[in-house]
């Protein structure tokens, strides 16, 4: 295992070293110490490596990740896993705003709570949140799955496209065009898999499913008021 002291060696050296790892690397496990809330840690990775960050991260940790597994033993700042393509990111603590924003693939697990705009504009990523999520989450979400074991804030799924939203707790309010939908057997199966991948101790039957009413799919001036 390689240990990288971010405070001593700097962000540029860290990301350069991680970018240099190819699919055939034998240095598959990296440990990053002293992150101290630094931004853009382990962004743009493109190899099946494991990066363990020992502490809290700032903005955009794991941004645009491909293939890599990134574990954060702390909380994450805004935009964690932004535009992730594949791989897995696990946050042991809480995540700030826009967690998993525009993510196109892979799995983001947040073991604490996520702030506002979680999964905003998501495009295929799976996000599993053990705790609560804030307002405006999954705004314009296009595809993928958002699982919330706790409660959701205001305007969940506003202007939603085809992403699936599963919430176990309360939803403060639904956004425009977001409605509760029937939880059919195939959704139970999908959710069961997601909960297992996210390490959640919860039963799929306890969740409600939300999705798009599809009334915004074609331009209607009445929706503009």
Partner 1 sequence: MKDDHNGAPRTVPIQSATFSNPTNAEIRRAAATGIYDIRGGGSKRKVPHFDDLLFLGASISRYPLEGYREKCDTSVVLGTRFAKKPIELDIPITIAGMSFGALSGPAKEALGRGATLAGTSTTTGDGGMTEEERGHSNKLVYQLLPSRYGMNPDDLRRCDAIEVVVGQGAKPGGGGMLLGQKISDRVAEMRNLPKGIDQRSACRHPDWTGPDDLEIKILELREITNWEKPIYVKVGGTRPYYDTTLAIKAGADCVVLDGMQGGTAATQDVFIEHVGLPILACIREAVRALEDQGLHREVQLIVSGGIRGGADTAKALAMGADAVAIGTAALIALGDNDPRWEAEYNALGTTAGAYDDWHEGKDPAGITTQDPELMKRFDPIEGGRHLNNYLKVMALEAQTIARACGKNHLHNLEPEDLCALTMEAAAMARVPLAGTDWYPGKPGTSF
- Please identify which residue in 30, 95, 111, 161 interacts with partner 1, judged by CB under 8 A: 161
SS (H, E, C) the chain: CEEEEHHHHCHHHHHHHHHCCCCCCCCCEEEEECCCCCCCCCCCCECCCEEEEECCCCCCCCCCCECCEEEECCCECCCCCCCCCCCEEEECCCECCCCCCCCCCCEEEECCCECCCCCCCCEEEEEEECCCECCCCCCCCCEEEEEECCCECCCECCCCCCCEEEECCCECCECCCEEEECCCHHHHHHHHHHHHHCCCCCCHHHCEEEEECCCCCCCCHHHHC
Token readout for 164 is 């699936």
58 contacts partner 1 (rule: CB under 8 A): yes
The closest alpha carbon to 127, from 114, 139, 135, 140, belongs to: 114
Report in angstroms how near the CB of residue 177 gets to partner 1 at its nearest.
11
Judged by CB under 8 A, does residue 79 bind partner 1? yes
List 60, 166, 207, 210, residue binding partner 1 (CB under 8 A): 60
CB of 184 vs partner 1, minimal distance in Å: 19
Which of 61-89 are b and which e, b meaning 16 or more Cβ less than 10 Å from the residue's Cβ?
A: bbbbbbbbbbbbbbbbbbbbbbbbbbbbb
CB of 17 or CB of 188, closer to partner 1: 17
Contact between 10 and partner 1 (CB under 8 A)?
A: no
> Is residue 217 near partner 1 by the rule CB under 8 A?
yes
Distance separating alpha carbons of residues 134 and 158, to the nearest angstrom: 13
Please identify which residue in 4, 30, 98, 207 interacts with partner 1, judged by CB under 8 A: 98
Selected range binding partner 1 among 24-32, 47-55, 79-87, 185-193, rule: CB under 8 A = 79-87
**Distance of closest approach, residue 203 Cβ to partner 1, in angstroms:** 30
Query: By CB under 8 A, is residue 181 in contact with partner 1?
Result: no
Contact region with partner 1 (CB under 8 A), list: 148-156, 159-167, 178-186, 194-202: 159-167
132 binding partner 1? (CB under 8 A):
no
Number of residues that bind partner 1 (CB under 8 A): 43
Least distance (Å) between residue 195 CB and partner 1: 24
* Contact residues for partner 1, defined by CB under 8 A: 11-12, 15-16, 19, 39-40, 43-44, 46, 58-60, 63-64, 66, 78-79, 82-83, 85, 97-98, 101-102, 104, 117, 120-121, 123-124, 139-140, 142-143, 159, 161-162, 216-219, 221
């Amino acid at each position: 295992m390689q240990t990288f002291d971010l405070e001593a060696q700097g962000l540029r050296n860290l990301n350069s070293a991680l970018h240099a790892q190819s699919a055939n690397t034998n240095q598959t496990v990296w440990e990053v110490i002293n992150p101290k809330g630094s931004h853009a840690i382990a962004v743009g990775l493109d190899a099946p490596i494991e990066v363990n960050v020992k502490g809290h991260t700032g903005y955009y940790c794991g941004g645009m990740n491909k293939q890599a597994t990134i574990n954060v033993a702390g909380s994450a700042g805004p935009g964690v896993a932004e535009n992730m393509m594949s791989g897995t990111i696990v946050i042991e603590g809480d995540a700030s705003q826009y967690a998993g924003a525009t993510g196109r693939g892979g799995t983001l697990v947040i073991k604490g709570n996520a702030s506002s705009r979680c999964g905003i504009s998501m495009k295929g990523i799976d996000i599993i949140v053990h705790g609560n999520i804030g307002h405006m989450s999954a705004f314009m979400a296009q595809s993928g799955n958002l699982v919330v074991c706790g409660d959701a804030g205001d305007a969940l799924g506003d202007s939603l496209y085809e992403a699936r939203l599963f919430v176990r707790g309360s939803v403060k309010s639904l956004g425009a065009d977001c409605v509760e939908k029937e939880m059919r057997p195939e959704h139970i199966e999908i959710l069961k898999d997601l909960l297992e991948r996210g390490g959640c101790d919860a039963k799929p039957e306890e969740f409600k499913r939300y999705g798009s009413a599809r009334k915004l799919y074609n331009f209607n001036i009445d929706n503009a008021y």
